[in-house]
Amino acid sequence: GTKQGNIMSFFKKV
Amino acid sequence: ILELRLVQATLFKNVLEAISDLFSKANFDFSGTGLELQAMDTSHVALVALLLRAEAFNHYLCDRDLSMGLNLADMAKAFRCANNDDIITIKAEEDWSDTVTFTFESPEDGEISIFDFDFVGTNGVPLEIPEFPESEYQAKVRMPSAKFMRICKKLSSFGDSGDRDTVVIISVDKECVNFFTRGKTGTSTIVCRQTQTVDKPKEPTLIEMKEQVSLAFDLRYMNSFSKGSTLSDQVTISLSSNLPAVFEYKIAETGYIRYYMLPRIEE
């Protein structure tokens, strides 16, 4: 199977 | 005070159509530069970032930065009532009011529709989006946005439409980009070669490859991104196994819409 990470981990909170 | 005017509703209508089915709420940041919009889907797989510079508007007055969360489904409904050539005015007063007013005025019959939208929370956006180094992308594909939309439609019609989890594999190898999906009883592959720019200089398909790359994505997301075709003639897809993929549509000289999406990875 496949899974997906969380895109937030690539960006910083402003 | 914020006061913006667009003499043709089309641009804003297209923006909303391009984002409202996948993203339910967005953060709208108005500043002297222009409008920056960001939204994230509920599964946190995709992020959309839009820039419309002040020059994109016929009138742009924003004397203080203003950030507001808005419900996109409600906005899309309102904008579906607007005609393409309606004049749009966007107005917000000082801090004490937490609503923004969109006015549509028909130049022909003078009819005016007024919509006030309350601000909503946006769950996680805005985020700081860095310019990722070019060297991190193994491949970049540029093609006509209508062609990309056609490819997404073909893949969707082959994959079982009831299955929300249809996966598309995009792979780039030399001067070819392949889109592969699996249906119930078979597979479908669409191969796009780099086109000679001499024949159709306005609609080239260009492939820049540093290394072979093959990544799996949710087709329904990609299908939704392809609606960006109303905003631009070309789409650029940047692929990396270490970063979110970027599907970028440049909006004339006045901005862009960029969709970021994480690939699926083997468990």
DSSP codes joined into one string, B115-181? EEEE----TT--EE-----GGG-SEEEEEEHHHHHHHHHHHHHHS-TT-TT-EEEEEEETTEEEEEE
The residue type at B134: E
pLDDT for B138 beyond 80: yes
| Residue B145 exposed, middle or buried by CB count within 10 Å (0-12, 13-18, 19+) | buried
DSSP state of B196: P
Contact B128 A14 (CB under 8 A): yes
Give which of A3, A7, A8, A12 to mutate to test B binding, by max B Cβ within 10 Å: A7
User: Does the distance separating the beta carbons of B127 and A11 come in below 8 Å?
Assistant: yes
According to the model, what pLDDT value does residue B200 have?
61
Contact B204/A at CB under 8 A: no
| Contact: A4, B129; criterion CB under 8 Å | no
Structure tokens at B90: 């966007």
> Order of strands, edge to edge, in the sheet holding B187-193?
B187-193, B176-182, B167-173, B213-218
Q: What is the CA radius of gyration of chain A?
A: 10
Selection from B40, B100, B42, B101 nearest residue B67 by Cα: B100
Q: What is the 3-state secondary structure (H, E, C) of B50-112?
A: EEEEHHHCCEEEECCCEEEEEEHHHHHHHHHCCCCCCEEEEEECCCCCCEEEEEEECCCCCCE
* Mean pLDDT taken over chain B: 92
Q: What 8-state DSSP symbol labels residue B263?
A: P
String of b and e for B172-206 (b: at least 16 CB within 10 Å)? beeeebebbbeeeeeeeebebebbeeeeeeeebbe
Task: Say yes or no to pLDDT of B161 above 60.
Answer: no
pLDDT band at B23 (very low <50, low <70, confident <90, very high): very high
Residue B202, pLDDT above cutoff 80:
no
**What is the reported pLDDT for B163?**
62
Tell me how many residue pairs between chain A and chain B have CB atoms under 8 A apart.
49
Q: Which residue in chain A is spatially nearest to B242 when comparing CA positions?
A: A10
**Angstroms from A10 CA to nearest CA on chain B:** 8
The residue with tokens 């056609």 is B150
Report the candidate in B152, B119, B101 with the shortest Cα–Cα distance to residue B259.
B152
CB contact under 8 A, B267 and A1: yes
| Contact call for A4 and B46, based on CB within 8 A | no
How far is the alpha carbon of A12 from chain B, nearest alpha carbon, in Å?
A: 5
Residue B182's pLDDT band, with cuts at 50, 70 and 90, is: confident
ipTM: 0.92
Q: Does B247 touch chain A (CB under 8 A)?
A: no
Condensed to tens digits (0 to 9), the pLDDT of residues B34-92 reads 999 999 999 999 999 999 999 999 999 999 999 999 999 999 999 999 999 999 999 99
Residue B37 and residue B29 in contact, taking contact as beta carbons nearer than 8 Å = yes
Contacts of B45 in chain A (CB under 8 A): 4, 7
